Amino acid sequence: MKKQAFNPYLPSWEYIPDGEPYVFGDRVYVYGSHDFFNGCVFCMGDYMGWSAPVNDLSDWRCEGVIFPRDGDPANAAGKMCLYAPDVTKGPDGRYYLYYVYDKVGFVSVAVCDSPAGRYKFLGYVHDRNGVRLGDRPGDEPQFDPGVLTEGDKTYLYTGFCARGDKSRHGAMCTVLGPDMLTIEEEPVFVAPGCEYAEGTGFEGHAFFEASSIRKRNDTYYFVYSSTVMHELCYATASDPRGPFTYGGVIVSNNDLHIAAYKPADKPVALGGNNHGSIVEINGQWYIFYHRQTNGSWFSRQGCAEPIFFDEKGHIQQVEITSCGLNGGPLKGEGEYPAYIACHLFTGKPVLYSGEPGLPRITQDGRDDDKTPGFVADIQDGTTIGFKYFDCKGVKGVSIETRCYCNGAFEVKTAWDGPVLAKIPVVSSNVWEKNTARFDFPDGKQALYLTYRGTGKPSLKCVAFEK
SS3 330: strand
- What's the Rg (C-alpha) of the chain? 22
Check: CB of residue 15 under 8 Å from CB of residue 36: yes
> Which residues are catalytic, by number?
18, 209
Number of Cβ atoms within 10 Å of the Cβ of 40: 8
Enumerate residues 6+ apart whose C-beta is below 8 A from 71. 110, 119, 120, 121
Tell me how far apart the alpha carbons of residues 384 and 342 are, in angstroms, rounded to a whole number. Answer: 8
The letter for the amino acid at 130 is G
Nearest to 285 by CA among 258, 324, 337, 241: 324
DSSP state for residue 381 in the 8-state scheme = T
SS3 206: coil
From its phi and psi, is residue 275 left (phi > 0), alpha (psi between -120 and 50) or beta? beta
Peptide bond into 99 cis (omega under 30): no
Question: Pairing state of beta strands 373-376 and 47-53?
Answer: unpaired
Tell me how far apart the alpha carbons of residues 456 and 300 are, in angstroms, rounded to a whole number. Answer: 23
